[in-house]
Structure 1
Amino acid sequence: MIYVKRNNQEFGPYDESTLLTYVNSGQILRSDSARNDATNEENTVKYFLKKAGLKPKVPHKGHLFHQLAMIGGELILPKSTIISKQWLSDKRLLLLALIGLFPTIFMAIPFPAMGIFYAIALYFSCIWGIFFYYFFRTKQVSLKYTLIVFFMTQLCIFFLWDIVGWTKLNPFYNLVNLPFPFNFIGYTLGVGTTEEFAKAIPLYILIARAKEPLIPQTLVFYGLMAGIAFGVYEGVGYQTSVNTQLDYTGAFFMNIARLTSLPFLHAIWCGIGGYFIAFANLYPKYRISLYFLSLAIPALLHGLYDTLCGYSVLIFIAVGICFIAVLLLMTYLKQGVNYQSKLRN
């Protein structure tokens, strides 16, 4: 005798002939779990029927069109559900459609080259934003301020880089093309310090205008978004200038990197900065050191990474520096309570 198991419940027992009848009628599936009552052996219904020399054959319920008619048009094309607009309440559906279909829009609309690069960069930014929102959001995080931080960062970068020419005002930039250790100084005090400070400007404004104390994880999230925004600006610039001078394979790889991993790195560095900026606001007695750390740690990680990337034999160490940055951010967040206890004194 055979017991059939479905949804953690056993039915039966049935002899093999009765089991075959149920299978042929579609009430029991050949793939259902089953157990022999006598031997306690467990396997599928199909296995026990085959062992008994029985071969199930489920008959068709009419021809194709008869089956389609029995299924019904509403199941195939649920017009009433679509017309009732119930699907508008399904945020997962709308988000899935937005992510999946966004790039196809640009296949139909004749955007200029720069517009295409920027739009695709925004597309990847949205994906990163959703990822960060899932892992780092707090009750203080809002879509409004997320968008403000994102586009304010880009406006700040555009103004400082393209209008003011801020990078030319930092003399340490001149050291990046020199041998080590001068290039490390240039990448840290020039590139790293300048870029990390610029990315943090919206965070300074946000925390100054906040109507309640912002917890570190909230500033980490907004820092991540500011970093992604900088990555979009920088990525578009590289894709339309430096990357065009590379061979096809190199250009393809660097274009992908400029949309994925490199904006992620900028986000992690700025997220670390946001963490210490939040603590500087929560514990103003230590604000000098905390503001210093909010810039020094990201700039140092940034400078180390850029320096090591200049040497092909050291690229794996550069990747290790990236991992350390992620590890630091996650450790900071986990140890936040301990830091607060320390800073209360």
Structure 2
Amino acid sequence: MIDNNIVKLAKQGDLNAISVLIQDNLEQEKIAKSELKDSYLKLILEAEQVPNQQKLVPLIQKTVTSLETDLITKIMLYGQKTGESFPEWNQELEIKTRQPQEKLSNFNRGTSTPEINKNEFIEALQTFEFTSVVPYQQVLNPDLYRSNIVRLLLFLGLFPLAISSFYSNTSSLKDIAWILGIYYAFVWGIVLYKLIKPTQFSRKLTLQCVFFTAFVGIPLLIFVQQIPPFSFLYAAINSSNVISKLIGYVLGVGVLEELCKGFPIYLFLLNPGKLKEPLTSAFYGAMSGLGFAIAEGVHYSLIYAKNVSVGNLGITDHILLTTIRFISLPLIHAIWAGIVGYFIGLAAINPSRKKPIIFIGVAISAVLHGVYNTFSNNAIGLIVMAFSILLFVTYLRNSKEMIREMQQFEEKFPKNSP
């Protein structure tokens, strides 16, 4: 039971008395902080659970209004969990007074509401603690940097900026192109690793596949494409006849480039007998494809820059083509090489049909590659690229079924094994 003296003091604006009066009407909630300034009452309510806003707002408004005092015109009410630094909700309440004309006069003179609004803003700011808003101690905690996702975010976000910071006028375009090509390939490598989830993973083998294709496979490819019949097929890609161009791109460019990208998978995994399932070889095939795309992207970026310098290519086209070379085409090269790698993995499970299985994988990728190159400047090329990605994902999803099929065939026809 509240003493009449408490009520009297509350009507006179005594903050402690007002707090006692309000607290008496509360159940689980406690007044954590109260303040009365310039007829503006601020209350912070705490409870183990978030205070019930719908219940408390009318209750407190009714309690303060019953005092019939002009000393409180507004209430700023906050509700938060016990021990928390930030309120879960807040609401401003208007308290009707017995002298509305006087209040209206003050409002018209511009003395009351602006002061209240100013106080409201400042007091709201004061409810936040600096260490909660800017938790710098946690930012500097070494535990934060043990998270792989945090490291990845820092690398992806800061690497290009770091290159820009250390870039000098003496740095060659070729050097920058290699660095950016590796950066974008690394991004796709992370994505493909998460997508494929290879059961056998080695950083060393990943780098072997990437660098072997970039620095050994491509020079070998350039040498072979000068030899007939590949030299004739490569010449056909410049034909005005779309059929000749398609044949050149499929049987020339497609076959040679996909064999080039698949060669390290055969060399490092299949031939030594290290392959046990197709997801692993699909992953390393994709990494080999990224290595191919890095070297190819550097080569074409230099050509684009030269064409810009002599006026044969506009800056807009240069930006677009360079973006495609460093971002879109590395993925599609990785996908085509991943398909070849996937079939090499199936060949490891079914050695009695090893050569036909590898032939099918190379043929599928070569056809997709050749059709895309032939129609890369129109919607057909875009459709082929989308189909390639979706086909690869489908292979990954069906891997268990394909493995089972290969194993069953091998058990049924073991005599065919070489």
TM-score of the aligned structures, taking structure 1 as reference length: 0.79
What is the aligned counterpart of 2:339 among 272, 286, 296? 272
Q: CA shift at 1:215, angstroms?
A: 1.5
CA contact (8 A) 1:16 1:52 kept: no
User: Do the aligned partners of residues 255 and 63 (structure 1) sit closer, same or farther apart at CA in structure 2, a change above 3 Å counting?
Assistant: closer
Q: CA shift at 1:23, angstroms?
A: 5.6
Q: CA shift at 1:214, angstroms?
A: 3.0
What is the aligned counterpart of 1:92 among 145, 149, 158? 149
Partner of 2:270: 208
Q: CA shift at 1:244, angstroms?
A: 3.6
TM-score of the aligned structures, taking structure 2 as reference length: 0.66
When the two chains are superposed, the root-mean-square deviation of aligned CA atoms in Å is 3.7
| 1:222-272 Cα distance to aligned partner (Å, 9 max, x none) | 111111111111111111014642211111100000011111111111111
- The whole-number CA distance in structure 2 between the counterparts of 1:290 and 1:50 is 76
Q: CA shift at 1:201, angstroms?
A: 1.1
- The whole-number CA distance in structure 2 between the counterparts of 1:167 and 1:173 is 7
Structure 1 residue identity aligned to 2:392: L
User: Do the aligned partners of residues 73 and 206 (structure 1) sit closer, same or farther apart at CA in structure 2, a change above 3 Å counting?
Assistant: same
Structure 1 residue runs of 5 or longer lacking an equivalent are 33-44
- The whole-number CA distance in structure 1 between the counterparts of 2:360 and 2:183 is 32
| 1:57-102 Cα distance to aligned partner (Å, 9 max, x none) | 85746998xx99x6469965429x74x7434423222222111111
Partner of 1:341: 404
Q: Find the residue that maps to 1:286 and give its secondary structure.
A: helix
What is the aligned counterpart of 1:127 among 166, 187, 190? 187
Residues 162-201 of structure 1 correspond to what in structure 2 (within 5 A)? 165-169=223-227, 170=230, 171-178=232-239, 179-201=241-263
- Higher mean displacement: 84-93 or 236-245: 84-93
User: Do the aligned partners of residues 239 and 337 (structure 1) sit closer, same or farther apart at CA in structure 2, a change above 3 Å counting?
Assistant: same
Q: Is structure 2 residue 174 aligned with structure 1 residue 114?
A: yes
Q: Find the residue that maps to 1:27 and give its secondary structure.
A: strand
CA contact (8 A) 1:24 1:58 kept: no
Structure 2 residue identity aligned to 1:16: P
Q: Find the residue that maps to 2:374 and give its secondary structure.
A: helix
Residues 149-168 of structure 1 correspond to what in structure 2 (within 5 A)? 149-161=209-221, 165-168=223-226
Partner of 1:24: 77
User: Do the aligned partners of residues 134 and 58 (structure 1) sit closer, same or farther apart at CA in structure 2, a change above 3 Å counting?
Assistant: farther
CA contact (8 A) 2:61 2:93 kept: no
Q: Is structure 2 residue 386 aligned with structure 1 residue 323?
A: yes
By relative contact order (CA 8 Å, sep 6+), the higher-ranking structure is: 1
What is the aligned counterpart of 1:296 among 356, 363, 377? 363
- The whole-number CA distance in structure 1 between the counterparts of 2:380 and 2:394 is 21
Partner of 2:349: 282
User: Do the aligned partners of residues 27 and 202 (structure 1) sit closer, same or farther apart at CA in structure 2, a change above 3 Å counting?
Assistant: same
User: Do the aligned partners of residues 258 and 52 (structure 1) sit closer, same or farther apart at CA in structure 2, a change above 3 Å counting?
Assistant: farther
CA contact (8 A) 1:153 1:202 kept: yes
Q: CA shift at 1:157, angstroms?
A: 3.1
Q: CA shift at 1:335, angstroms?
A: 2.1
What is the aligned counterpart of 2:395 among 325, 332, 336? 332
Q: Is structure 2 residue 294 aligned with structure 1 residue 232?
A: yes
- The whole-number CA distance in structure 1 between the counterparts of 2:387 and 2:135 is 52
Structure 2 residue identity aligned to 1:159: P
Structure 2 residue runs of 5 or longer lacking an equivalent are 1-24, 30-48, 65-74, 97-115, 308-312, 410-418
Q: Is structure 2 residue 157 aligned with structure 1 residue 78?
A: no
Q: Find the residue that maps to 2:323 and give its secondary structure.
A: helix
Q: Is structure 2 residue 274 aligned with structure 1 residue 217?
A: no
